[in-house]
Amino acid sequence: MSIETTDDFQKVWIVLGLGLVCFLLYSLQPILMPFLIGSLLAYLGDPLADKLEAKKLSRTQSICIVFFLLTLVLVIVVLLTFPMIGHQINVLASKIPLWIDLAQKELIPFVQKNLGLPENSLPLGNIKSAVTENWEGAGEVLRGILGQVAGSSMALLALVANLLLIPVVTFYLLRDWDVLVGHIRDLLPRSMEDRVVSLVTECDEIIGAFIRGQLLVMLALTIIYSIGLWIVGLDLALLLGVVAGLASIVPYMGFIVGITAACIAAFFQFHELVPLIAVAAVFGVGQLLEGMVLTPILVGDRIGLHPVAVIFSIMAGGQLAGFTGILLALPVAAVIMVFLRHMHRNYKESELYKSVSDEG
């Protein structure tokens, strides 16, 4: 068998293997959530574990420290934020009918007068009734779902099992991360090892920079927006700050969603112009800090994903594989970008490109 035939045979098997992996990921997505979350936590914690190992600690000791720190951070976040967010959601639920009444009495007449609209052209009364009924209905549905989950032993066991799997998967992946990477590298064909390792290293740098950096940027923006809106005096400061911080995973989306929601909340709470200006100042400062300080320091320019590509990746991932696809969308897009960059470089160095360039 010739060398060319052997190489073609290897490529076919590689393509078939990648196709099988994609098929399994798509088919098994209902049970993948604890493994994806555990893998993400292990991926985030591995660099810290490696640094602790460099300090002469054993791998098990390093993993225990990292595992303890991850658990501590999660517990603190849950205990500090969840009760306050729950309270603010209740406040929001109680204020929505009042805001609709205010809009019906003051805002709608002003709009109708200045735009020449006939009366009752904007039936907020119907909207208020629909919102109130649907909100109460949503509460009943939620209580019904919780009751079914609690009443179904299998569903409850499945939920508990998935939650318990996350720390177990995280611990074992953290412990054996370097060993698994070494085994995978050892399986690579010797002729392709250097090229594959180079591509994987570049992908790891981009994905690591994005995940670690973007999570820190989102956390920083959540704190900045929440504190800023709290200083302004908004009752929903924490809730709006969290929403804006989470939405900032998409470029400019956090700013747009946050400032719109916060201005609406400030208008209905204060009925004055000054708080709206203060809200705009909070998000303006946050946007400046994100663009000039947070993103350059925490993320850098190694990602290279255009904002439109980010939006498309998230929407495509959600369409193809639901929430699992959303989690995987940006890492997969970053990997595709690395391969496209290498394809572009190879094309620029190819005889095809040079010959066309010379003829031109």
pLDDT tens per residue across span 117-133: 555 555 555 555 555 55
Q: Which amino acid is at 247?
A: A
- A 10 A CB-CB count for 306 gives 11
Counting Cβ atoms within 10 Å, is residue 118 exposed (0-12), middle (13-18) or buried (19+)? exposed
Measured in whole angstroms, the distance separating CA 98 from the mean position of its chain's CA atoms is 33
pLDDT at 300: 62
The CA dihedral of 176, 180, 181, 187, to the nearest 10 degrees, is 160
pLDDT in tens, 46-75: 888 888 888 888 888 888 888 888 888 888
**Tokens coding 259:** 């400032």
CB 62 within 8 A of CB 46: no
Segment 244-273 mean pLDDT: 85
Taking alpha carbons only, the member of 59, 73, 7 closest to residue 171 is 59
Mean pLDDT value across the chain: 76
Q: How far apart are CA 53 and CA 148, in angstroms?
A: 47
Minimum mean pLDDT range among 14-28, 125-139, 320-334: 125-139
Evaluate the CA torsion angle 309, 313, 314, 315 in order and state its sign. Answer: positive
Q: How far apart are CA 332 and CA 311, in angstroms?
A: 13
Top mean-pLDDT range of 77-86, 93-102, 255-264, 309-318 = 255-264
Q: Global pTM?
A: 0.68
Minimum mean pLDDT range among 146-155, 179-188, 259-268: 146-155
pLDDT band at 360 (very low <50, low <70, confident <90, very high): very low
